[in-house]
C-alpha cells in the first residue's frame, strides 16, 4: 500500500476492500474480544483470522501498478536521479509511518497497564526503534511494534527493486524499449518459481515480487482497447507456477491483476464505481492501515477490563473498534499524512 496514490475509482475500491479486510483480520486474529465472539460466529471469526490476511496481495499488485505508472509509463525509466527517487519514496512512506509508530507505542503502553495479553507488544528498545525507522526491523530480527509495519518495509524494498531493474535495463540496453519489461518479467519468474516457494525469503522483496511485478506488467501491457502479448505470456507463466506449486496468495494476485487489466482495457479503472464514500475511504486507506492496530489494542483492553465477557457485548466492542479505526484513520490522514505530503512537496520538489 502506498502513501497517497492515484484517484482511480477502481483502484480506490480495491484499496477499501483490502484495507478493511486487514483491519477485520487483526481484530479477529489478536483478541481478546474475538476469543469471546468465536462461539457466536465461529465460521466468520475463523475465516477472518486465518484467511483475510490474503488481502495483502491486493496491495502488492496495486503497488506494482502505481509504481510502473510513476516510474516508467512506457516501460522506460523516467529521466530523474535514481537516488533522489528512492529518497523521496522513503520519505513519502516513513513520515506518516513514524508518527503512527509513536501512536503504536503509546497504545501498547496503555494496553499493558490495563491487561496482560500476548498480542500487546513489549516496550521498545533503542535498537528496535532505530531498526524500525530504517525499515529494517524484520531483516534484523526485531519484533514489530505494530501489526502491518513489515508491509511498509516490503513496499519500500519492492519499489527500490523495481527502480533498480528499470535503471539497469536503461543503462545496459538503452536502445531497446522493452528491456525494462523483459527484466521485470524475468524477476517475476524467479520469484514465482523459486523465492516465493521458500518462506526463508519472506523478509525480502524478491519473495513478493511475483505479485508486485504482475501489477507493473499489467500497467505496461494493457491500454484502453489494446492488449500487449506480454500480458498473455505473463498470465500463462503465473498459471504454470500455480500448477507446479499452488499458492492461494499467488492465485489471488493473478485475479487482482486480471481485474485491473480488464478495468484499464474497458476504461472503467478511472470511473467505476462512482462513489464519494469509496473514494474517501480509498484516500484514507494508508492512514487506516497505519493506525488501526493501536486503536484495536486499546479498545480490546478496555472491553477486557471493564465490559462483560459475553459474546454480544464483545461483538459490539469489535464493531466499535472497526468504526474507530476508520475514524482514527481519517483524523490521521487530515492531521498527519496530508501535512507530511505538503512538507514533502514543498522541500523535495
d(CA 311, CA 303): 11
Helix (H) or strand (E) holding 226: strand 226-227
Is 175 a residue whose pLDDT tops 80? no
Is 227 a residue whose pLDDT tops 70? no
Asked if residue 273 is part of any domain, the answer here is yes
d(CA 132, CA 147): 12
Domains: count for the chain: 1
Range of the domain at 186: 9-348
Give 172's pLDDT tier (boundaries 50, 70, 90).
confident
d(CA 283, CA 280): 5
- Among candidate residues 78, 102, 76, 90, the one with its CA nearest the CA of residue 159: 90
- Residue 226: the pLDDT is 59
Chain position carrying cell 530523474: 80
Asked if residue 2 is part of any domain, the answer here is no
Is 38 a residue whose pLDDT tops 80? yes
Asked if residue 216 is part of any domain, the answer here is yes
Asked if residue 154 is part of any domain, the answer here is yes
The residue-averaged pLDDT of 11-15 equals 93
Asked if residue 326 is part of any domain, the answer here is yes
Asked if residue 3 is part of any domain, the answer here is no
What pTM was computed for the model? 0.90
Q: How many C-beta atoms surround the C-beta of residue 270 within 10 A?
A: 14
Whether the ω angle into residue 189 lies within 30 degrees of 0, i.e. cis, is: no
d(CA 88, CA 43): 43
Is 262 a residue whose pLDDT tops 80? yes
- Cα torsion angle, 119, 125, 128, 132, sign: positive
The residue-averaged pLDDT of 131-148 equals 92
pLDDT in tens, 60-103: 999 999 999 999 887 778 878 889 999 999 999 999 999 999 99
pLDDT in tens, 307-337: 999 999 999 999 999 999 999 999 999 999 9
Asked if residue 1 is part of any domain, the answer here is no
Q: Answer whether 180's CB lies under 8 Å from 165's CB.
A: yes
Amino acid at each position: 500500500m502506498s502513501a497517497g496514490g492515484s484517484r482511480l475509482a477502481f483502484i480506490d475500491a480495491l484499496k477499501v476492500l483490502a484495507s478493511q479486510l486487514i483491519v477485520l483480520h487483526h481484530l479477529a486474529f489478536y483478541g481478546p474480544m474475538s476469543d469471546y465472539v468465536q462461539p457466536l460466529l465461529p465460521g466468520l471469526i475463523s475465516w477472518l483470522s486465518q484467511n483475510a490476511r490474503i488481502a495483502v496481495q491486493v496491495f502488492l499488485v496495486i503497488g506494482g501498478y502505481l509504481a510502473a505508472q510513476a516510474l516508467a509509463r512506457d516501460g522506460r525509466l523516467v529521466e530523474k536521479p535514481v537516488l533522489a527517487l528512492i529518497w523521496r519514496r522513503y520519505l513519502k512512506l516513513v513520515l506518516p509511518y513514524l508518527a503512527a509508530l509513536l501512536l503504536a507505542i503509546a497504545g501498547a503502553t496503555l494496553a499493558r497497564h490495563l491487561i496482560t495479553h500476548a498480542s500487546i507488544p513489549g516496550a521498545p528498545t533503542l535498537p528496535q526503534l532505530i531498526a524500525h525507522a530504517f525499515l529494517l526491523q524484520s531483516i534484523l530480527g526485531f519484533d514489530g511494534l505494530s501489526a502491518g509495519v513489515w508491509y511498509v518495509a516490503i513496499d519500500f524494498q519492492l519499489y527500490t527493486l523495481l527502480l533498480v531493474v528499470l535503471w539497469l535495463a536503461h543503462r545496459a540496453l538503452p536502445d531497446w524499449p522493452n528491456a525494462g519489461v523483459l527484466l521485470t518479467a524475468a524477476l517475476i519468474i524467479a520469484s514465482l518459481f523459486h523465492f516465493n516457494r521458500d518462506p526463508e525469503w519472506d523478509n525480502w522483496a524478491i519473495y513478493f515480487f511475483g505479485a508486485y511485478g504482475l501489477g507493473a506488467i499489467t500497467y505496461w501491457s494493457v491500454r484502453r482497447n489494446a492488449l500487449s502479448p506480454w500480458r498473455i505470456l505473463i498470465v500463462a507463466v503465473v498459471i504454470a507456477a500455480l500448477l507446479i506449486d499452488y499458492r492461494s496468495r499467488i492465485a489471488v494476485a493473478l485475479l487482482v491483476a486480471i481485474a485491473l487489466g480488464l478495468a484499464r482495457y474497458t476504461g472503467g479503472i478511472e470511473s467505476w464505481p462512482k462513489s464519494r464514500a469509496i473514494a474517501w475511504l480509498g484516500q484514507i486507506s494508508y492512514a487506516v492501515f497505519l493506525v488501526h492496530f493501536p486503536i484495536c489494542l486499546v479498545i480490546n483492553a478496555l472491553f477486557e477490563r471493564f465490559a462483560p465477557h459475553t459474546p454480544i457485548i464483545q461483538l459490539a466492542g469489535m464493531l466499535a473498534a472497526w468504526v474507530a479505526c476508520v475514524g482514527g484513520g481519517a483524523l490521521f490522514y487530515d492531521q498527519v499524512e496530508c501535512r507530511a505530503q505538503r512538507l514533502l512537496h514543498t522541500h523535495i520538489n
